[in-house]
Amino acid sequence: MDEKFISDLKQSPAIPMGDAAYWRAKCEELVAENERLNTENENISEKFHQITNWCKAYPLQVFPEPDMKKAHELLKVGGITIDSVSAYAMRHVLVGIQKIIDGE
Protein backbone atom coordinates (compact mmCIF):
# COMPACT_ATOMS: atom_id res chain seq x y z
CA MET A 1 0.00 0.00 0.00
CA ASP A 2 1.20 3.48 -0.66
CA GLU A 3 2.30 5.78 2.15
CA LYS A 4 -0.43 8.37 1.49
CA PHE A 5 -3.13 5.74 1.87
CA ILE A 6 -1.65 4.56 5.18
CA SER A 7 -1.28 8.14 6.34
CA ASP A 8 -4.88 8.87 5.35
CA LEU A 9 -6.07 5.86 7.30
CA LYS A 10 -4.18 6.99 10.39
CA GLN A 11 -5.90 10.37 10.12
CA SER A 12 -9.34 8.84 9.59
CA PRO A 13 -11.27 11.97 10.61
CA ALA A 14 -9.86 13.55 7.42
CA ILE A 15 -11.62 10.85 5.39
CA PRO A 16 -15.27 10.42 6.23
CA MET A 17 -16.21 6.76 6.08
CA GLY A 18 -19.06 7.74 3.79
CA ASP A 19 -16.75 9.36 1.20
CA ALA A 20 -17.62 6.91 -1.56
CA ALA A 21 -15.61 8.74 -4.23
CA TYR A 22 -12.41 8.46 -2.18
CA TRP A 23 -12.91 4.74 -1.50
CA ARG A 24 -13.92 4.03 -5.11
CA ALA A 25 -10.74 5.74 -6.34
CA LYS A 26 -8.65 3.86 -3.77
CA CYS A 27 -10.18 0.54 -4.86
CA GLU A 28 -9.46 1.37 -8.50
CA GLU A 29 -5.84 2.13 -7.60
CA LEU A 30 -5.51 -1.17 -5.77
CA VAL A 31 -7.09 -3.12 -8.64
CA ALA A 32 -4.69 -1.45 -11.10
CA GLU A 33 -1.72 -2.23 -8.85
CA ASN A 34 -2.87 -5.84 -8.54
CA GLU A 35 -3.13 -6.14 -12.35
CA ARG A 36 0.36 -4.63 -12.75
CA LEU A 37 1.82 -7.07 -10.23
CA ASN A 38 0.06 -10.03 -11.88
CA THR A 39 1.51 -9.02 -15.26
CA GLU A 40 4.98 -8.62 -13.74
CA ASN A 41 4.66 -12.02 -12.08
CA GLU A 42 3.64 -13.63 -15.40
CA ASN A 43 6.66 -12.04 -17.13
CA ILE A 44 9.05 -13.23 -14.42
CA SER A 45 7.52 -16.73 -14.49
CA GLU A 46 7.95 -16.92 -18.28
CA LYS A 47 11.61 -15.86 -18.00
CA PHE A 48 12.17 -18.42 -15.24
CA HIS A 49 10.60 -21.08 -17.50
CA GLN A 50 12.90 -20.11 -20.40
CA ILE A 51 16.00 -20.30 -18.18
CA THR A 52 14.84 -23.64 -16.73
CA ASN A 53 14.37 -25.05 -20.25
CA TRP A 54 17.84 -23.86 -21.21
CA CYS A 55 19.25 -25.68 -18.15
CA LYS A 56 17.86 -28.92 -19.62
CA ALA A 57 19.27 -28.31 -23.11
CA TYR A 58 22.52 -30.20 -22.63
CA PRO A 59 21.74 -33.55 -20.95
CA LEU A 60 24.63 -35.80 -19.97
CA GLN A 61 23.15 -38.64 -22.04
CA VAL A 62 23.74 -36.56 -25.18
CA PHE A 63 26.73 -34.51 -24.05
CA PRO A 64 28.77 -36.66 -21.62
CA GLU A 65 31.33 -35.03 -19.35
CA PRO A 66 34.64 -34.68 -21.20
CA ASP A 67 37.97 -35.86 -19.93
CA MET A 68 39.09 -32.40 -18.84
CA LYS A 69 42.73 -33.41 -18.43
CA LYS A 70 42.80 -34.74 -22.01
CA ALA A 71 40.92 -31.66 -23.26
CA HIS A 72 43.45 -29.44 -21.50
CA GLU A 73 46.35 -31.26 -23.16
CA LEU A 74 44.76 -31.14 -26.63
CA LEU A 75 43.89 -27.47 -26.32
CA LYS A 76 47.37 -26.65 -25.03
CA VAL A 77 48.87 -28.17 -28.19
CA GLY A 78 46.75 -25.73 -30.19
CA GLY A 79 47.80 -22.79 -28.02
CA ILE A 80 44.46 -22.50 -26.23
CA THR A 81 43.92 -22.81 -22.50
CA ILE A 82 41.04 -24.72 -20.95
CA ASP A 83 40.46 -21.63 -18.79
CA SER A 84 39.80 -19.46 -21.85
CA VAL A 85 37.33 -22.02 -23.24
CA SER A 86 35.60 -22.29 -19.86
CA ALA A 87 35.39 -18.50 -19.53
CA TYR A 88 33.97 -18.24 -23.06
CA ALA A 89 31.31 -20.84 -22.27
CA MET A 90 30.31 -19.09 -19.04
CA ARG A 91 30.13 -15.70 -20.78
CA HIS A 92 27.91 -17.27 -23.44
CA VAL A 93 25.55 -18.65 -20.77
CA LEU A 94 25.45 -15.40 -18.81
CA VAL A 95 24.85 -13.31 -21.95
CA GLY A 96 22.00 -15.69 -22.83
CA ILE A 97 20.46 -15.34 -19.38
CA GLN A 98 20.81 -11.56 -19.57
CA LYS A 99 19.01 -11.57 -22.94
CA ILE A 100 16.15 -13.57 -21.43
CA ILE A 101 15.92 -11.16 -18.50
CA ASP A 102 15.99 -8.16 -20.84
CA GLY A 103 13.31 -9.73 -23.05
CA GLU A 104 15.43 -9.99 -26.19
Identify the sign of the CA torsion 89, 90, 93, 99. negative
Query: What's the pLDDT tens digit per position in 26-78?
Result: 889 999 999 999 999 999 999 999 999 999 999 999 999 999 999 999 999 99
Cα torsion through 43, 48, 53, 55, rounded to 10:
150
The amino acid at 9: L
pLDDT at residue number 24: 84
